[in-house]
Structures are given as structure tokens and as C-alpha cells.
Amino acid sequence: MGRLFHKISYSLRHWNEVGVSMQRKLTLYFVCMVLIVFAAAVVLINTAGAMPGSERNLGEALTVQHQNTVSAMTKQIDILTARSISLSEEITRTMEQVLIQHGKAFQDANDDPQLILDLEDSLYGSLETVLRSNACSGAFFVLDATVNSKTENADTSRMGVYLRFSDLKAVGTANQHIVYFRGAADLARKKQIQMHNRWNLEFDTSQIPCYETLLKFNRSRLAEGAVWTERFRLRDTWEDVTLLCVPVLDQNGVPCGICGVELSQLYFVLSYPAAESRFGNMVTLLAPAEGKKYDLSKAMVGNAAGTYLKSYGLMEIRNGKYYQTATTEAARYLGLATPLEARFSSGQTPMVLTLLPEDSYEQASLKYRQLWFLGTALFLILILLLAGGVSGHFSAPIVRSLKALQQGETEENGVHKGIRSGISEIDALVSFLQSRSQELKTGELPPEIDTMLREFTSRIDRLTPAETQIFRMFMDGCDVQTAAERSFVSVATVRKHNTSINRKLEVSNREELMLYIDLFRRCGRLEELTELTDKLL
């Protein structure tokens, strides 16, 4: 590694001495410039968080979806709460009228099937209106009276009516079918409403989590009594629901029942479809939070199409910079959580969550990285080609000019043929060199060159015969290996002779030696060397 580093740094330090071609150097300069600008742009984009597929992008996408969901859910909860409160008030008023007509108090409803039937009949219309006009899957009221206080389950059996939609739609329509889940059978037949396959005459209040609590309600405002149950299974059915319950007061302000609306899990799925994004599908949840933990079996889970999110198991949330990470037993999700302004009957805070599978994000990120890589690679190739083309176009005339000079092309009158490069400095140099070349051709060797060659020649007789033999082979163009074969000695021996030759002839290496030989050849004085070496052999 150190050796490599040394090589690189040595090469870089002696870059300019190498004599890299002009075109190559120009190409390199162009490419470096573009790369610097490109790198600067990447850093800028990255800093600004605009790089597609980044965590920041994901955070922004989640935030937008989450805010929309929170807003929609808050609105829905508000409407349902307002309607439930209004229903409660209407029940109080209507109940009072019916009781007055019967000349009875509410407590007299116990064991009075006719009174109970009349109460349910008179309240049916209000209940149906709530169901049909609002974003819910069911509506109900339960009053603290029973048709038969002597039955076995009289303690928890209470009158009331519970209407549900049998065919749920995300957008309610007038022709949705209502089924009669709880209430007097005669009323269902009178209203020509289909009875639920698991219909029962009265409610089992032990199945309603907040019933007993709400019967003890003692605040001044009904809104303070509005609570949501956690998700639970409607007995004998396949459906999970959450109920919004509001206390019902009698004319004296004493709690005498509850009323409210139902959101079924299926309805929640229809109301909150999975939101498609470039990072994957985002799922909506409404879950009770216990610190950082969520019990999904008590949560309402929206449409989870495109994910493996299940509505059971535990989920733990950890905060992050741009979003939170939610971990279940099977997978991890990325998302955001916001508390809702509502209450669960269990006392836990309802949280709205927007979650996206971590796998989906990683897939999307991978795709972006691959596109980025491909784009960058294509860009670089394009730049290289462009730089090569531009620099070639710039350097071509210059090279042609130098080449013509090198090849000594002359016109008919013996004057050098010049090719103009279009760059004044280059053209001036070429003209000078052309004239100099002319001078050299017509005259003898410059004295300095002559001296140099003579001094070299004088050192030849320092060589031993063996060294002279090797030198002659180098003159003939042999390399070390070939010289060893021809001399019937080892390569190491040839190398040893080579070292001695260099030392005695005062050259630094074999390349310099070969240059001298080449110079002798070019000056037409190679025979001098041949004669000298012949004498020594």
C-alpha cells in the first residue's frame, strides 16, 4: 500500500516532466472541470435534501400524507362526536315525550314491553338518520331498562336499538341496506328491516367496555363524556368494531344510558385506503398508545394493500430525525404518529399513525440509486467523449503542424512545408524550428553535440572485453534476456555487466545508454562505435 502511494505521489509530482500529449492533457482538464462542477452540484443537492430517495424526501412524503390523514380523521371524529351528542340530546327529549304520553317515569320501563317498544319505535327514526347521514358503519342507543327483569341475564341485559349497514361502502348512499342487530323484533318487522343473523332482543352491557363508566357520568357537558372503545370483536360475528359512546341523560340530567356510532374494521379499511407513494404504500392506523408500544389487536388498521401489516401483535416505535421507526415481530415500518383529540375508554391516548414498510422504502431507494448510477455513468461517458472531441479538434492543427516539422516535409524549392495551427505562438515556434532545422541540415553538428559524442567515445575503452561484448549486443538492439542467451551467460551476469557499462560510460541507466547509441546512429557515427568495440574484443 505504501509502495502504491509512493508511486502515485511520485507520478503526480513529475506529471509535467512526462510530456503527456496535448490532447490528453486538454481532455483531462475538461473532464476535471466538469467533474468539479458536477461534484459541487451533487453536494449542493444533497445538502438541500433534494436528492431523490433520501430520508428527508421520505420524511416529507410521510408528513404530507400523515397531515392529510390526521386532518380527515379529526374531521370525521369531530362530526361523529357532534352527531352522537346531538343524538343523545334528541333521545332525552323524545324519551321525555313518550314517557309523558304514557304517564310514566323512566324507571317504569322495566318489565313494560309496550313502553319499551314505543320508546324504541319513537327513537328509531333519529338513529336511522344518524346512520345514514354520517361516516360510520352503525349507530345505537342503549337505555338502562330491560323488558324482563326476571331473566337469568337481567343484570346485564338492556333495551335499545342497534342498526348496522350490511353492505359497507366508503361513500354512503341512500340505498345501503340496514340490518337490525339489537332491538324489539316487532319494530324490525314494522320498519321492514332485515334482522341480523345474530340478532338479539337486548344488549349485553358486559360486552360494551365503557357502559358502566358512562352511567356514572357527572360532568356538565356531554362532550366530556364522549369516549371511544378499543377495537373488539362483536360477539358471534366475524367483525371487529370500535364504538364511540356518549352518555344519555334523563330529563333530570341523570345518566340513563348511552348512545353513539360504530366504526367497523371493514369500514375503516374502506375509508382509509392505502396511499400510493413513490416509496410504497402508506397505511393508516388508529391505535391506543401505551408509551412507545401499540397493541395492534386493539387498533383500527386501514387498507394495508401492498404490505404485510397485520391487525394483531405488538408494535414499538422509536423516534428518528425525519420519521419514526415502528417494529413488529415480522417487519419494520417507517412513519409518523400524532395523538388525536379524543379519548379511549381505557384511558390510553388514541394515536393516528401513517406507516410505510421499510422494505418498500429500501426498494425505492435502491431503484433511485441505480438510476443515479446509470445516469452518472452515462453522463461521464458523454463528457469524456465530448472532452476528447473538443480537445482533439483544438489540438489537431497543432499536432499536424508539429508533425510536418518533424517529418521535414519540404516544398519544391527546399523550404519546409508548414501547416498553420491557427495559434500564433505555435506557428511562431514551428517557423523558428523550421529555420533551425534548415541550418542544421546545411551545417555540421553543433560543437556541443560533437563534444558530447567524442567524450562518450573516449570512455568506451574503459570496458572489459566481456562488457564490450554485451555493449555490442545492446548496439545491435538486444535486450538483457537476448544478450544473455547469445552470450551463453546468465541474465544476472548480463545485468552485472550492464551496471558496469553504465558506470564506466557515465550514463544513469540502460535507457540513456540506448539514447546515446541512437544519437550516434542518427548522426551517422555508429560505425565509430563499432570500430572501437571491435578493437576491444
Partner 1 sequence: MLISVKDEIRIISAGGDRMIMKKRINSLLRYSLFGLAAIMSTAGCGKMTAKEPVTVTIWHVYGGQAESPLNDMIAHFNETVGKEKNIQVQVGSVSNTNTIHENVLSSAFGDPGAEELPDMFVSYPKTVLAMPDETVLVDYNDYFTDEELSGFVAPFLTEGQINGRQLILPVAKSTEIMFVNETAFDRYAKESGATLSDLETWEGVFRLAKDYTEWTDEQTPDIPGDGKPFFVHDYHFNYFQVGVESLGEQFFTEDGTALAFGPAFDRVWAPYADAAIRGGVWLQGGYATEPLRTGDSIVSVASSASVLYYSNTVTYADNTTEKVNIISMPCPVFEKGEKLVMQRGAGICTVKSTPDREKACMTFLKWLTDPERNVEFVTQLGYMPVKKESFETYLPDAISGLQDPMYQSLYEAYMKTQGEYTFYTAPQYDAYLDLETRFEDMVRQKLQLARRSFAEDPEQSPEELVKATLENFRRDYQQ
Site for partner 1 in 10-39 (CB under 8 A): 10-12, 14-15, 17-20
The 8 Å CB, 24+ separation contacts for 422-431 are 422/397, 423/397, 423/398, 426/398, 426/401, 427/401, 430/401, 430/402, 430/405
Candidate residues 107, 207, 363, 499; the one interacting with partner 1 per rule CB under 8 A: 363
> Exposed/middle/buried for 428, CB within 10 Å: 0-12, 13-18, 19+?
exposed
Nearer to partner 1, 182 or 226 (CB): 182
Closest distance between partner 1 and the C-beta of residue 526, in Å? 16
CB of residue 342 vs partner 1: minimum separation in angstroms?
Answer: 27
Tell the residue number behind the cell numbers 367497523, with chain if given.
Answer: 264
| DSSP single-letter state for residue 209 | T
CB of 470 to partner 1, least distance (A): 18
CB of residue 266 vs partner 1: minimum separation in angstroms?
Answer: 7
Among positions 104, 436, 441, 535, the unique one binding partner 1 when judged by CB under 8 A: 436
Name the nearest CA neighbour of 178 among 7, 188, 152, 21.
188
Which of 481, 478, 477 has its CA nearest to residue 490? Answer: 481
Dihedral class, residue 287 (left if φ above 0, else alpha if ψ from -120 to 50, else beta): beta
| The binder of partner 1 chosen from 148, 213, 327, 346 (CB under 8 A) | 148
- Smallest distance, partner 1 to C-beta of residue 441, A: 15
Our finding on whether 1 is near partner 1 (CB under 8 A) is no
Q: C-alpha grid cell for residue 197?
A: 343473523
How far from 285 is each of 137, 331, 472, CA to CA, in Å? 17, 16, 92
Beta-carbon contacts of residue 149 (< 8 Å; ≥ 6 apart) = 110, 111
How far is residue 47's CA from residue 121's CA, in Å, rounded to a whole number? Answer: 67
3-state secondary structure of 19: coil
C-beta of 427: minimal distance to partner 1 in Å? 18
CB-wise, 215 or 433, nearer to partner 1? 433
Q: Mapped to the 3 state alphabet, what secondary structure does 257-320 carry?
A: EEEEEEEEHHHHHHHCCCEEECCEEEEEEEEEEECCEEEHHHCEECCCCCCCCCCCCEEEEECC
Task: Kindly state the DSSP code that residue 476 receives in the 8-state scheme.
Answer: T
Q: Least Å distance between CB 241 and partner 1?
A: 12
Q: Does 68 bind partner 1 (CB under 8 A)?
A: no
Q: Which residue in 151, 406, 407, 458 binds partner 1 (CB under 8 A)?
A: 151
CB closer to partner 1 out of 89 and 128: 128
Q: Which is nearer to partner 1, 322 or 372 (CB)?
A: 372
Residues numbered 198-237 forming contacts with partner 1, rule: CB under 8 A: 198-202, 236-237
CB of 274 to partner 1, least distance (A): 8
Residue 60 or 359 with smaller CB distance to partner 1: 359
CB of residue 384 vs partner 1: minimum separation in angstroms? Answer: 10
Using CB under 8 A, which residues numbered 443 to 482 contact partner 1?
446, 448-449, 451-452
Q: Which of residues 238-257 bind partner 1 (CB under 8 A)?
A: 238-239
**Minimum gap (Å) between residue 219 Cβ and partner 1:** 32
Piece of the chain touching partner 1 by CB under 8 A; list 168-176, 347-355, 466-474, 491-499: 168-176
Strand partners of residue 335: 324, 355
Region 368-407 residues binding partner 1, contact defined as CB under 8 A:
369-370, 372-374, 376-377
Q: Locate 48 and state its grid cell.
A: 438541500
42: number of Cβ within 10 Å: 13
**Which of residues 450 and 461 has its CB atom nearest to partner 1 in the complex?**
450
Binds partner 1 (CB under 8 A): choice among 270, 340, 433, 480: 270
Evaluate whether 228 touches 115 at the Cβ level (below 8 Å). no
Q: For partner 1, which stretch binds (CB under 8 A), given 123-131, 174-182, 285-293, 488-496?
A: 174-182
| Whole-number Å distance between alpha carbons of 496 and 501 | 9
Asked whether position 169 contacts partner 1 by CB under 8 A, the answer is yes
Distance CA 355, CA 338 (A): 12
Q: Which is nearer to partner 1, 412 or 439 (CB)?
A: 439
- For partner 1, the binding residue among 52, 172, 255, 397 (CB under 8 A) is 172
Query: With contacts defined by CB under 8 A, how many residues of the chain interact with partner 1?
Result: 88
Of residues 279-338, those binding partner 1 (CB under 8 A): 280-281, 303-308
Q: How far is the CB of 253 from partner 1 (least distance, A)?
A: 29
Nearest to 280 by CA among 320, 332, 337, 339: 332
Q: Which span (127-135, 170-178, 394-402, 491-499) binds partner 1, by CB under 8 A?
A: 170-178
Q: For residues 496-525, which are near partner 1 according to CB under 8 A?
A: 507-512, 514-516, 519
Give 183 or 247: the residue with its C-beta nearer to partner 1. Answer: 183
**Cα separations in angstroms, 399 against 2, 123, 385, 436, 463:** 38, 101, 19, 19, 43
| Grid-cell match 313502553, residue found | 115
